[in-house]
Structure 1
Amino acid sequence: MTAEEDFTRYLGDCPLVAIIRGVTPDEVVAVGEAILSAGISIIEVPLNSPNPFESIDRLAQALGDRALVGAGTVLDTLSVARVKDAGGRLVVAPNTNAQVISAAVQADMVAAPGYFTPTEAFVALDAGAQALKLFPAEGATPALLKSQRAVLPKAVPVLVVGGIQPDSMQAWLKAGANGFGLGSGLYTPGRSADEVHARAAAYVAGCKA
């Protein structure tokens, strides 16, 4: 299956993306397996983590077609190529950069750039983005997303990222969110795989409540 097909399938099964910022290559497989066993099948390693490309390579090899592995905080086209070489199939960014989006799409990867305004959203879509990341969600509200959803294409998934907790997801889902990116609420450096699994399970339960 293509990266986009896997993204759509996994997001439909569980609308959560694990963001494991700060993970190291030595722990990434254990953390990734803990997340996957809780039911989350989309995992991103932010590029401001230690040795991120090695982590992506190890995780992609270990999880194979059981998960969609990619990178976050991808800010330039060179990084897109390096993510691809490491086996990543997802490119997530905090911003809207048409060159990064286009490079990811041309490499048969999923591009999920960050946006906050309708203008940024449509710039991203014009560049070929297959998903959008509303970021930072701490500065937004479900009402804002609902208004944006009135004009954004229905087929384009919107992921809400920033400060998400298990008990806050239902309001966003009702406003039109298709999923969530989970950061420090799920993983922080030094957190054990067992604790990450427990937190992941709580998020999975929260989105089904």
Structure 2
Amino acid sequence: MPHVPFRLPLIAILRGIGPGEAGAHVGALVEEGYDAIEIPLNSPDWAQSIGAVVREYGGRAWIGGGTVLRPTEVDTLQHLGARFVVTPNTNPALIKHAVAAGMQVVAGFATASEAFAAVDAGAQMLKLFPASTYGPGHVRALRAVLPAVPLFVVGGVTPLTLTDFLASGSNGAGIGGELYRPGQPVERTRTNAREFRLVQTGYRR
């Protein structure tokens, strides 16, 4: 089995969150057992949010940045204390830069060729995106050829479809819009997080 560094192999994606609400939502996620939390870099004032939640929750959870496209963004994340980066694509130069900076990389891919390019560049984890359009069958086919690297499915994954993806060979999921939408109450985030956690922890391969 591939080694996943997170205790709960669900990456909580808080796309669009701002500094004024990041702490409360991250706190709820940590209380629900989540220890991998991503704030995408196309969120407002993302550096302020990430820096604040690293200071408050960095000892209890992996805090990372998503939609990372440039080496300078990796450098900023490293300075803020983030522990992982998530990319939307396969960029070997960016992956190598992040790995050299001591970061864990969850590299976005769609095809087997892209997955192998990401792994060859040093990515420790893979992110199939958008998972909902490829489906569990795509994961099963990829698993037949991919090395033993953690594979997360991201994009349109729901509590109802997560079990099929897990049965097909994914290790977990990144959950974004199905978990959090800007402006929603903290309790909605908590309820959504709990539904995904119950599926993930209840599944036995």
So what's the TM-score if we normalise by structure 1? 0.93
Question: Distance between the aligned counterparts of 2:34 and 2:198, measured in 1?
Answer: 11
What secondary structure sits across from 1:66 in the alignment?
coil
Assess, with a 3 A threshold, how the Cα gap between structure 1 residues 168 and 152 changes in structure 2: closer, same or farther.
Answer: same
Q: Which residue of 1 aligns with 2:138?
A: 144
Give the drift of 1:51: 0.5
2:170 aligns with 177
Q: How far did 1:14 drift?
A: 1.5
- SS across alignment from 1:152: coil
Q: How far does residue 143 in structure 1 lie from its aligned partner after superposition?
A: 1.0
**Which amino acid in 2 is paired with 1:73?**
T
1:200 alignment counterpart: 193
- Rounded to whole Å, the distance in 1 between the matches of 2:158 and 2:33 is 17
Following superposition, the deviation at residue 9 of structure 1 comes to 3.8
Give 1:72's aligned residue: 66
1:170 CA displacement: 0.8
The unaligned stretches of length 5 or more in structure 2 are: none
Structure 1 residues without counterparts, runs of 5 or longer:
1-6
- Residue by residue over 1:157-204, the C-alpha shift from the partner in whole angstroms, topping out at 9 and shown as x without a partner, is 000000011111111111100110000110010011111111101110
The structure with more helix, counted as a fraction of residues: 1
AA of the residue aligned to 2:77: V
Q: Pick the aligned partner of 1:186 from 158, 163, 179.
A: 179
Q: Which of the residues 92, 106, 114 maps onto 1:120?
A: 114
- Taking the aligned partners of 1:160 and 1:133, their CA distance within structure 2 comes to 6
Amino acid at match of 1:23: I
2: CA distance between counterparts of 1:114 and 1:181? 11
Alignment of 1:49-68 (within 5 A): 49-68=43-62
Query: Once the 2 structures are TM-superposed, how far is the Cα of residue 8 of structure 1 from its aligned partner?
Result: 3.1
What's the CA shift for 1:138?
2.0
> What residue number does 1:167 align with?
160
**Which residue among 80, 97, 100 is the counterpart of 1:103?**
97
Residue type of the alignment partner of 2:119: L
Distance in 2 between the 1:74 and 1:143 partners? 28
SS at match of 2:177: coil
Following TM superposition, by how much is the alpha carbon of 1:89 offset from its aligned partner in structure 2, in angstroms?
1.0
In structure 2, how many angstroms separate the alpha carbons of the residues matched to 1:112 and 1:126?
13
Partner Cα separation in structure 1 for residue 104 and residue 188 of structure 2: 29
Structure 1 position 64, deviation (Å): 2.2
> Could you list the per-position Cα deviations for residues 3-39 of structure 1 after superposition, in whole angstroms to 9, with x for gaps in the alignment?
xxxx9342xx322000000111111111101111111
How far apart, in 1, do the equivalents of 2:188 and 2:33 lie?
A: 15
Percent of aligned pairs with the same residue?
41
| One of 103, 124, 132 as aligned partner of 1:130 | 124
Which residue is 1:3 aligned to? none
SS in 2 for 1:113: strand
Match of 1:8 in 2: 4
Cα distance in 1 between the residues matched to 2:161 and 2:67: 24
CA distance in 1, matches of 2:157, 2:141: 20
Once the two structures are superposed, what CA deviation does each residue of 1:103-149 show, in whole Å capped at 9, x if it has no partner?
11011110111000010001101100000000011221111111110
Amino acid at match of 1:146: R
SS of 1:8 mapped into structure 2: coil
Partners in 1 of 2:184 and 2:66 — Cα distance?
Answer: 19
Matched length: 200
Aligned with 1:111: secondary structure? strand
